[in-house]
Amino acid sequence: METSAEEIAVDIPDLIRIYKDGHFEKFHVPGSDIVPPGIDPSTGVNSKDVVYSPETNMFARLYIPKNATPTRKLPLLTFIHGGGFVIGTAASSLYHNFLNLLVSEANVAVVSVEYRLFPEFQLHIAYGDSWEAIKWVERHVNGIGPEPWLNEYVDFEKVFLAGDSAGANIAHQMAIRVGSNSLDGMRFQGAILLHPYFWGKERVGTESEWMEPTMIRYLDNIWDVLKPEGSPGLDDMLINPGMDPRIVSMGVSEILVCVAGDDFMRERDRNYKKLIEESGWKGKLEVVEHKGEGHVFFYNNLLSENAIALRTRVSAFINKT
């Protein structure tokens, strides 16, 4: 028997449908198929899955380039996947294929973080899992951690945070936590925010000129569903960095924000630069924009001109020192 529309409590197109009895359906998106780690035949990049939290069975997919050697330590990129906090996994072909290329081109080690998703878990769990993964990485600073690849190949003086969409939102929050917590022996040089997922009650930039009311309601509704208990709504610091006084003390020295010119989040991402600069933060923030592109376009065709340009810019950001 088909489920009637009356039984639907929440319907967010292309993301999730939640029913009144509590069960839910998550929508399948291209690239969500699970692929195993291993040696990538086209780049020679090697990867493996390692559990960073035995209590929750959360894992990270680790990547090292083909010619990794303990005699030449590599920068480390801690990458956090997107998916609206609802879908996505570090084991999907979407992220696996992208990171194989980035690792090869940037000559960087990567820890791609898996975290628990909504609605199985409340939103704050995603941030907590990501922080636990970072703390797990910290255990390797002196070369005696549980994971040999991190002990042998990583330069902990060159650590970067990164993520796309909701993952970039989490990476932003992790940069704030780094600034207020001691992580002995780890130097976080930068954060790379790829089309970060931010929102808010008031319109910014030219949003009021081009954004349709239906899109505004759609984005409002997403946060209304996701928001943790006690949240002030669209003025929550988790979704609206302009409401967060802690950004002045973010624990990275540089930030790279990548914007897509046709992204529904583009004004938020452009406005992020203004918010950070007005906060008094002492670091350097750069914005690169790809005209005519949509949200996380760089996964759709990895060899398109702008996708290559984005990875080249990220690689340069990591390796400029």
pLDDT at residue 4 above 80?
Answer: no
How far apart CA 110 and CA 87 sit, in angstroms, is 21
Tens of pLDDT, residue by residue over 253-312, are: 999 999 999 999 999 999 999 999 999 999 999 999 999 999 999 999 999 999 999 999
Tens of pLDDT, residue by residue over 60-87, are: 999 999 999 999 999 999 999 999 999 9
pLDDT on residue 1 = 42
Instruction: Say what the pTM is.
Output: 0.96
How far apart CA 104 and CA 154 sit, in angstroms, is 15
Active site residues: 165, 263, 295
Strand pairing category for 8-12 and 16-19: antiparallel
pLDDT on residue 75 = 98
User: In Å, what is the CA distance from 194 to each residue of 201, 229, 304, 313?
Assistant: 22, 28, 17, 11
Burial class for 185, CB neighbours closer than 10 Å (0-12, 13-18, 19+):
exposed
Q: Out of 7-16, 55-64, 268-277, which region has the weakest mean confidence (pLDDT)? A: 7-16
Whether 193 and 168 have beta carbons less than 8 Å apart is answered as yes
Residue 206 tokens read as: 């030219």
Give the percent of the chain with pLDDT over 70. Answer: 98
SS (H, E, C) the chain: CCCCHHHEEEEECCCEEEECCCCEEECCCCCCCECCCCCCCCCCCEEEEEEEECCCCEEEEEEECCCCECCECEEEEEEECCCCCCCCCCCEHHHHHHHHHHHHHHCCEEEEECCCCCCCCCCHHHHHHHHHHHHHHHCCCCCCCCCHHHHHHEEEEEEEEEEECHHHHHHHHHHHHHHHCCCCCCCEEEEEEECCCCCCCCCCCCHHHHCCHHHHHHHHHHHHHHCCCCCCHHHCCCCCHHHCHHHHHCCCCEEEEEEECCCCCHHHHHHHHHHHHHHCCCCEEEEEEECCCCCCHHHCCCCCHHHHHHHHHHHHHHHCC
* Peptide bond between residue 119 and the one before it cis (omega within 30 degrees of 0): yes
In degrees and rounded to multiples of 5, residue 38 shows phi and psi of 145, -170
How far apart CA 257 and CA 314 sit, in angstroms, is 10
pLDDT on residue 2 = 53
Specify the domain boundaries for CATH 3.40.50.1820 within the chain. 39-319
pLDDT on residue 13 = 84
For the domain with range 39-319, which CATH number is right: 1.20.950.20, 3.40.50.1820, 1.10.645.10, 3.30.70.100? 3.40.50.1820
What contacts 121, CB < 8 A, 6 or more positions away? none
Whether 26 and 86 have beta carbons less than 8 Å apart is answered as yes
Tens of pLDDT, residue by residue over 162-216, are: 999 999 999 999 999 999 888 889 999 999 999 999 999 999 999 999 999 999 9
10 — pLDDT class (breaks 50, 70, 90): confident
pLDDT on residue 32 = 83
